[in-house]
Structure 1
Amino acid sequence: MSLTGQPVTILGAGVAGLALARALALRGAAVTVLEQADAIREVGAGLQISPNGAAVLRGLDLQADLDAASMRAEAVQLIDGPTGDPVTRLDLARLRPGHGYHFLHRADLIALLLKGAEAAGVTLRLLSRVGEVDLSGPVPAVVLESGERLQTPLLIGADGLHSKVRAVLNGAGQPFFTHQVAWRAVIPCEPGAAPVAEVHMGPRRHLVSYPLRNGTLRNIVAVEERDKWAEESWTLRDDAITLRIAFERFSPRVRGWLDRVEDPWLWGLFRHQVADAWVKPMGQGGVAILGDAAHPTLPFLAQGASMGLEDAWVLAQSLATHDSPAAALAAYQSTRKPRTTRIVAAANANARAYHLSGLPRMIGHTGLRLLGRLSPGTMLSRFDWLYDHDVTVGRG
């Protein structure tokens, strides 16, 4: 199946959508990205790109842009939240040579992907809010809220948690509240901060922090278990005092960071099922979803962006190397669904491990300390299946 001149419409200009746009355009496709916003912007927050995600950016010839926009991470440090005592350290230098682990601002990742997409010839249409996805005809169609109807041989839903394309393929979802909420904030960083992700663990709550933008900013994600429901939204603000109270029994280091937070973002954490149907062949084209539209994940393994990047590469490669759209779409789903299901389950498990209390907490932390002393590489090697996976060379 040749992609040269092949029209493709992508809904959503996020990480997965822009990465796919560049991947397809580099293979000759005529790609249009529809974005509902009036400009490409991201709520300010940090993210982590692990080696499996960085491999895709390298494959898209964006390695230099990634290096310029990010900090290379040295380690993940697990810390007892209330006391501030170290529990164990995962030395990321133990990863295979060339497999960098990166901290960067989400806006910077979006900017480099947008630049790469436009350089490859992608057309971006802003203010294109989709009202309806129509798969009843011979080819996919979207109806914009303006009334404009657009038909396209290949329609790709990179339209996030509340994906209209996913809903058409799978019906209405039923996510459930995990009784956890997360605050996000970015504050000025103290001078000389090491490029280390600190995970401060406490009973029913934890906080993750790491530096961004050459150490000028510090990213904070704080999670608390609670009964009170919160909206699943990236644009909800909360009172900083509420955040400080939630972590008032944590160490002075954590409390000092939170004293500098002025206006945190808050979102409720909901568990979604990995979509049953990711694709639908239609005539000489079809429909597919990727990223959060296909497999929303809790933020406890830092894999949301990297999974979207992997999806983008595999979908583009499948479309370029199979004889028909139907075969390509089937190969994409069969390749990606088992891996993303495993990643989502691993993130769910981390949520439980970070929030232990009482005797299980004491036993767990003691075990981690001993393991870190006796076999420091063991914990990180448990994630070889995740970080060593390189979709650009067809492994896994």
Structure 2
Amino acid sequence: MSSTGVSVGVVGGGIGGLSAALSLLHAGFDVHVFEQASQLGEVGAGVQVSPNASRILHRLGLAEELARTGVKPLAWHQRRWDDGRTLLRSPLAEPLEATFGFPHYQIHRADLLSALARAVPAERVHLGHRLTGLLDHGDRVEARFAGGARAEVDVLVGADGIHSRVRRELFGPENPHFTGCIAYRGLVPADRLADLELEVTAQVWLGPGRHFVHYLVRDRQLVNFVAILEQDTWTRESWTDQGDIADALAAYDGWHPQVRTILGAVDETFIWALHDRTPMQRWSAGRVTLLGDACHAMLPMMAQGAAQAIEDGATLAACLADAGCNIPEALHHYERLRSPRTARLQGMSAANKTRFHLPDGPLQRERDAQMATATTDWSFESVAWIYEHDAATVNPVYR
């Protein structure tokens, strides 16, 4: 790869930050990642990598890693909460790959992060660097870190998550809205659930005031689950607070035995509050921009959070590679390309909070009838606009 001579600092060493760094490195940029933690690691458990993201990761050389630890699900399987009746079954696996050219994977977040970390040269990742401020000098950006370390780069990218310091430096504090939903998450060794004979699918159980998702990860060794329910008494937005299994089981009293068996096999669960955010009007200022959850955090009801962050990095690299010397305009072009797409997915994710949780009755029956026609989100035709997208293809309209 040829060198552009342009230096890029990426604040944040999560999936979004490392995938962006890798896209930028492949495009010839001098990239360094600054992560506040003392070691790279991912909270959370499973993540969906749909074809719009896997096409990027394959191009970056991660196809073998994804195939080794990821699981290719046969379908999205949406089911009724009490009797397990199928509401919608959307094919994945071979039909999806044949249509869109790349696979869909279910993968443990830590496995994906490890694959990305191994692909980025170690000397380009700087741990223990907590951003405390930044200054855009017009021709370069100065990033300041706790302890006195500083870095000067041509471009600074904030990939530092929902509590982004870069976003706060650019646009001030945000005001996320608590949705009234909390989520339990966790992992169960698959052999504990052998009697269930679980399909290799991503199963989404819909019920009054709550839903439940489970799927296999880590080469089918673990079952990842997320249980999302309406509750107004928990507001802390953290992925690392301990949950009580007894509370989770009580919340799913009367649900299908498969759901309750999975919850009953859990050793440890974590709980967090779900917050909604209005799409941002701007992501960029001068030579600084944002990426991933820092600018478009979305509820986990479309399974696109990580995929959209991976897309961001590919589009950003393509825009900068085509920019010449006009870096600020390239960053604005990047957000012009990305913002409508991510805002649409944010809206769809928020709408699913209501649609997934309808109480039994006329609206629920109308929803189920519509799902039976295979025209709702996650049906094969409805996700085409998501999965067929190539984020690395940009039109240099700003010239």
TM-score (norm 1): 0.92
Q: How does 1:1-396 map to 2 (within 5 A)?
A: 4-92=4-92, 93-95=94-96, 96-118=99-121, 123-135=124-136, 139-189=140-190, 190-191=193-194, 193-281=198-286, 286-323=287-324, 324-359=326-361, 360-369=363-372, 371=373, 379-394=379-394
Task: Compute the displacement of 1:3 (Å).
Answer: 5.0
Q: CA deviation at 1:249?
A: 1.7
Question: In the TM superposition, what whole-angstrom CA distance separates every residue of 1:118-156 from its partner, at most 9, and x where no partner exists?
Answer: 2xx761111111122334676322221212233322111
How far 1:193 sits from its partner (Å)?
A: 3.5
Aligned letter for 2:19? A
> What secondary structure is seen at the aligned counterpart in 2 of 1:141?
strand
Letter in 1 for 2:239: W
* 1:33–1:125 Cα contact (<8 Å) kept: yes
User: Which amino acid letter does the alignment assign opposite residue 143 of structure 1?
Assistant: R
Instruction: For residue 64 of structure 2, give the secondary structure of its aligned residue in structure 1.
Output: helix
Kindly state the Cα deviation for residue 376 of structure 1 after the two structures are TM-superposed. 11
Q: Are residues 361 and 122 of structure 1, via their aligned partners in 2, closer, same or farther at CA, if it must alter by over 3 Å?
A: farther
What is the root-mean-square deviation in Å for CA atoms of aligned residues?
2.1
Q: CA deviation at 1:188?
A: 1.0
Equivalent pair of 1:79/1:85 in contact (CA under 8 Å): yes
Equivalenced residues, count: 385
Range with greater deviation from structure 2 (40-49 or 249-258): 40-49
* 8 Å contact from structure 1 (residues 3, 320) kept in 2: no
Shift of the 271–21 alpha-carbon distance from structure 1 to 2, 3 Å rule, reads same
1:378 Cα deviation (Å)? Answer: 9.6
Find the residue that maps to 2:243 and give its secondary structure.
coil
Cα offset, 1:366, TM superposition: 3.5
Structure 2 residues without counterparts, runs of 5 or longer? none
Give distance in 1, aligned partners of 2:222 and 2:118.
23
Rounded Cα–Cα distance in structure 2 between residues aligned with 1:61 and 1:168: 34
Q: Say whether the 8 Å CA contact 2:68–2:219 is kept in structure 1.
A: no
CA contact (8 A) 1:300 1:351 kept: yes
User: Identity of paired residues, percent?
Assistant: 33
| Post-superposition offset of 1:91 | 1.3
Q: SS of the counterpart of 1:335?
A: helix
Contact preservation (8 Å) 1:22, 1:122: no
* C-alpha contact (below 8 Å) 1:209/1:221 kept by paired residues: yes
Tell me the distance in 1 between the aligned counterparts of 2:378 and 2:116: 35
